[in-house]
Structure 1
Amino acid sequence: ASAQRALDAQRAGDVTHTQVQGWLRDLGRALGFEVWVAVNDRGRPYEGRELGDGCLDTLPPWVAGHPGVDAVRLIDVLWIDATSEDVAAAFEVEHTTSIYSGIVRMLDLALGAPERTTRGLYLVAPDAREEDVRAQLERPAFRQVRALGMRFLPYSELEKNREAMARFGRGLHPIEAASRSFAP
């Protein structure tokens, strides 16, 4: 088990935060969503272009007028339903950063406008960080997060399945199938 963990950690080190954001950006588009990339990451180089190329330049009006908009603009990737302008999914990539801050940003999105529903909230991290993520969600401050349906998406599942999801999937079903629930 520890040898497998070491191998997973080494493999995760080969994947960068920006690369995972790029995978999520491309997958979101392939699944039929408009995509928002965090305002502070849009200019990062990715595959010869900028990460934010072809993504939304502005958030939907209901999000832009949201009380927590400053935090929401920093969520790594948002998939937006083009028809309803609802946030279909929010992804925080926790490569090496604090898990806590990503959870708080997604809570700002989910709880800041209760009349709008965000269907999918995902913490995306190297497989080896799953226990760290689960430990954060066991903290008293975050125990209610489970009621929002937040899920864990390990890098390995995204890396292994993203092309098939893009080719054969539609909507959130493929990403839900590849992610793990935080339910006990």
Structure 2
Amino acid sequence: VCCDTEEHVLAEIHRIDALKIKGLGPAVANILYFLHPTIAPPFNTAIVRGYNALTGANVKLGRWDQYLAMRQGLIAFNQRHRDLLSNDLGAVAAFCFDLGMGLYAPPPRADDEAARQAFVADLAKVRSQAATSTPAEADDRTHTQIQGWLRDLGLALGYQVWIAQNDRGRAYGTGRLGDQCLPRLPAELEGRPGAEAVRLIDVLWLDAAGAIVAPFEVEHTTSIYSGIVRMLDLALGGETSGLHSLFLVAPDKRETDVRAQIARPAFSRIADLSVRYLPYSALEKHRDAIGQFGAGIAALEKVSHRLT
């Protein structure tokens, strides 16, 4: 917790590795991820299996040097595909996790032409199926689109809006997602514990004094886990007297997943907070009316579901 830079975190990992303490191997990297999501990726069997399938590497569990080597590869992959992923290394780790669980096959490597052709054919088939699917079968809302809706609604209600620092440059409409939003968090928020995680929350609404009124985490397809952790960092990291509710915004079909994660013992502290689930359909249906006639976030609370 005392480390706040990549250099410090890596130095402490090497120090732990040198001590050879049983039980302090890379399994605890998941704790590091929650503390430093842009520096330390999570680490488990499925992630390693997926990473090996993706890159042709032979990373093994149980050794810090193996973890650090995989970390370098994940960061390099993340940088190459930054427009599809995130500064939060949980996104690229979740991609590897899905590969490792066999949810879909990894793209073929450049030296396997036959596999590449098969992959291209499979990709064309999937795209064709997606193009002909019904609205009930296809969730065509993108993470950026939902952030844009929340941005516009917050501005319409008179709030200052913060967009996650790793998303503000994304194209949205005729401009960028961060247009008309705060360029930086207020100094009081920047100096509080957990500020690094707070800067990665998808959308924040702040009042005129710079106090956070409502945070929103958009859980489109990625792991809900990291979003909840960022919410906790915000709620438990300092003064939150102006905070009304914390919103997890997700496709309608993910409500069961959201509730299952909230119920985990690791998140017992969240029971003391007002956490709400805002389905995409409710946001889409009511956002214009709320923006035109709403006052504060009361209307948004009425169309969302209480989780805690």
What TM-score, normalized by structure 2, do the two folds share? 0.55
Q: Which residues in structure 2 correspond to 1:86-125 (within 5 Å)?
A: 86-114=211-239, 116-125=241-250
User: Is the aligned partner of 1:135 residue 2:260?
Assistant: yes
- Where does residue 272 of structure 2 map in the other structure? 147
Q: What is the identity percentage for the equivalent residue pairs of Structure 1 and Structure 2?
A: 58
Would you identify which runs of 4 or more consecutive aligned residues in structure 1 move more than 6 Å? none
SS of equivalent residue, structure 1 residue 85: coil
Q: How many residues align?
A: 175
- Where does residue 26 of structure 1 map in the other structure? 152
- Where does residue 297 of structure 2 map in the other structure? 172
Equivalent residues of 1:157, 1:179 under 8 A apart: yes
- Listed as ranges, the gaps of 5+ residues in structure 1 are 1-5
Deviation at 1:85, TM superposition (A): 1.5
- Where does residue 3 of structure 1 map in the other structure? none
Deviation at 1:105, TM superposition (A): 0.4
Q: Which residues in structure 2 correspond to 1:44-63 (within 5 Å)?
A: 44-63=170-189
**Whole-Å separation in 2 of the counterparts to 1:8 and 1:168:** 30
SS of equivalent residue, structure 2 residue 236: helix
Higher RCO (Cα < 8 Å, 6 or more apart): 1
SS of equivalent residue, structure 1 residue 55: coil
Aligned residues: CA RMSD: 1.4
Equivalent residues of 2:212, 2:240 under 8 A apart: no
User: Is the aligned partner of 1:73 residue 2:202?
Assistant: no
SS of equivalent residue, structure 1 residue 14: coil
Q: Report the CA distance shift for 1:115/1:134 in structure 2 as closer, same or farther (over 3 A).
A: closer
Given residue 183 of structure 2, which amino acid in structure 1 is its aligned partner?
D
**Whole-Å separation in 2 of the counterparts to 1:143 and 1:125:** 21
Could you report, residue by residue, the CA deviation over 1:26-85 in whole angstroms, capped at 9, with x for unpaired residues? 000111100000000000000010000110001111111011011000000000001x32
Equivalent residues of 1:89, 1:118 under 8 A apart: yes
Equivalent residues of 2:245, 2:274 under 8 A apart: yes
**Whole-Å separation in 1 of the counterparts to 2:179 and 2:244:** 25
- Listed as ranges, the gaps of 5+ residues in structure 2 are 1-133
Equivalent residues of 1:8, 1:127 under 8 A apart: no
Q: Report the CA distance shift for 1:8/1:88 in structure 2 as closer, same or farther (over 3 A).
A: farther
Which of these two proteins has the greater Rg computed from alpha carbons? 2
- Relative to its length, the structure with more strand (as a share) is 1
**Whole-Å separation in 1 of the counterparts to 2:298 and 2:266:** 29
